[in-house]
């Protein structure tokens, strides 16, 4: 009796599938750099990606699945994905945030359309928890005089100041650019931390 063979998995096919998926997701980015979320359709993505709608559907069963995949793709690209390296000091964190603000300013339409969408908020939730815990950890090392409750309150304030929501508000409402947003957020965080000495 012969054993059934395991299904053949072609490394080339897997690589081509991944490359096609990236082309599709980059087409979504191209659309969002010019228009709002309502402009993203399977037909328009296929047109921008120069492939058939059927190919897009083979990778993403619906518009919602496509937008969820794009949001995760963009978040991973921004944060380093599963291999992300967390800042170890508050100074490193502030420098990291300056880079995010620069990226967000370049892709402000994507940030406001995707990050603030219900799916974006859902997918960013675990990142908020990681960021909050990391800030508490940093404060424990850099401000050992603070109690656990104070560290939690300060970490929450810092996370709020550095958030996409705050960036979008300052960018849209006050017309601030990335450098000005970073300067104002850094000044606020520095003032909070100065009060803890």
pLDDT digit string, tens, across residues 14-39: 788 889 999 999 999 999 999 999 99
Number of domains within the chain: 2
Domain for residue 174, yes or no? yes
Same domain, 185 and 112: yes
Residue 1: the pLDDT is 61
Residue 8: the pLDDT is 64
Write the CA distances from 193 to 26, 35, 150, 169, integer angstroms: 40, 40, 11, 23
* Domain span at 30: 13-70
Residues 62-76 pLDDT 10s = 999 999 999 999 999
The count of other CB atoms within 10 Å of the CB of residue 122 is 11
Same domain, 105 and 188: yes
Q: Extract the tokens encoding 151.
A: 């560290």
Q: Which long-range contacts (CB under 8 A, 24 or more apart) does 180-189 make?
A: 181/101, 182/94, 182/97, 182/98, 182/101, 185/97, 185/161, 186/94, 188/161, 189/90, 189/94, 189/158, 189/161, 189/162
**Which pTM value belongs to this model?**
0.82
SS3 54: helix
Same domain, 61 and 126: no
Residues 88-147 pLDDT 10s = 999 999 999 999 999 999 999 999 989 899 999 999 999 999 999 999 999 999 999 999
């Amino acid at each position: 009796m012969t054993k059934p063979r395991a299904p053949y998995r072609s490394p080339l096919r897997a690589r081509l599938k991944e490359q096609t998926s990236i082309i599709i997701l980059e087409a979504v980015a191209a659309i969002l750099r010019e228009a709002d979320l309502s402009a993203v359709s399977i037909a328009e993505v296929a047109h921008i990606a120069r492939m058939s709608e059927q190919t897009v559907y083979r990778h993403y069963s619906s518009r919602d699945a496509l937008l969820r995949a794009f949001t995760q793709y963009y978040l991973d690209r921004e944060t380093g994905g599963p291999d992300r390296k967390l800042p170890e000091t508050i100074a490193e964190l502030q420098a990291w945030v300056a880079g995010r603000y620069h990226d967000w300013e370049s892709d402000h339409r994507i940030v406001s359309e995707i990050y603030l969408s219900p799916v974006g908020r859902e997918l960013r939730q675990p990142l908020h928890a990681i960021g909050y815990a990391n800030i508490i950890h940093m404060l424990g090392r850099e401000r050992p005089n603070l109690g656990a409750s104070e560290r939690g309150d300060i970490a929450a304030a810092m996370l709020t100041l550095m958030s996409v929501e705050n960036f979008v508000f300052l960018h849209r409402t006050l017309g601030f650019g990335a450098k000005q947003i970073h300067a104002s957020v850094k000044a606020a965080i520095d003032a909070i931390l100065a009060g803890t000495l």
